[in-house]
Structure 1
Amino acid sequence: MRSLFLLLVFALLASGPALAHRVNIFAYVEGGEVVAECSYSKSKRVRHGTIEVRDAVTGRTLLQGTTDEEGLFRFPVPDQARKAGADLRILLQAGEGHQNEWIVEAAEFMDAPVPRAPAPDAGKAAEPAAAGSPDDSGTKTRALSRADVEEVVSAALDAKLAPIKRTLLEQSQAGPGMREIIGGIGWIFGLVGIAAYFKSRPRV
């Protein structure tokens, strides 16, 4: 019985560090980019953690990178995933065996705007306006197209929804509360009691 009790106590103590060093990853689409947030807890971020983005269907690695000082890693939606309509599997390696992953479904980024190529330098491309021309009194204002408006609205919605998604994730990944801890202790003592009962029974 004593050996059983010591084994249960050791298992309880050993699970503490594992919970304390659990690594979390949360990814969402913002504009035309995917943002991955990595942390050990609400206040401790995963700095310089290794990120690998794979096609969730084929397992093919699409890109790799590392998190910054804030535990963030941003990357544009890979063209391969966008064309194939495949989910993205984002894997985090935080060292010392700590790892986790997150799936970004294709539905989250299929309608996301495609990052545009940088426009040519207007100063080099444009010819100086002649004196007295209609353009020397001001610059022309280009009307926003429907695609421009949709891109702005999509980026604004992503920015507003990201904190809500993050809050829901933190709540779902919260550590064990007092009720769970007390329940775990009671479960251990229950096992010890069962073992003591069977040991005290007279042998036939």
Structure 2
Amino acid sequence: MSIPPSTEDLDTVFKRVIQARSQPLGQEAYEILVANIDPTSVLSLDSRDEAFRRLYEQKHIGQKIANEFLRIAVDVLNVNPEWRNDLHVALDTNILQALVKTGGIRLNSSEANRSVGRLVNMDPDADPNKLIGYNDLQDAFQDAAAHIDQPRIVFDELWTEHRSFIADPLLRPQSIFADLLIEKYL
């Protein structure tokens, strides 16, 4: 039996997630965003996709923030556990660098000097010509996870793995991906 989180808990999680960005919101933008979104109503929508869209349509909420809030609510707090298989990995620099450094994304010679932020089009609505599309990468996560009978959200751990181990030369040998690391990308 799990104890459902309170509205206050969900509000706190939402507030932490929207501030966990590379460039924090100013006070006014933060207050407007908090006033515009009721996390409980977002989680009462019919599907993960509807909840994602409700968050993503807000100014200052990109795919990373929307996906991170949904991951915590669904995967950690067990709200709407039936959405777990539909969760997307919140794409950011740490996830992409982990994929490049382990060969999950293979670069050709013309892409070798491209920053990881220019490898994947982070907009779920875009249809990129030369970049890896957001949905294409989410589909690849889904396919890979299916081989080990897991939901794609298991790849969210790439964030912690890169940030805590791969990016740190002293801890890199302790990474679970140490044997997969490509030297030229370190």
**Global fold match (TM > 0.5):** no
In the superposition, the TM-score normalised over structure 2's length comes to 0.28
More helix by share: 2
If the length of structure 1 is used for normalisation, what is the TM-score? 0.26
Q: Quick check: which has more Rg, 1 or 2? A: 1
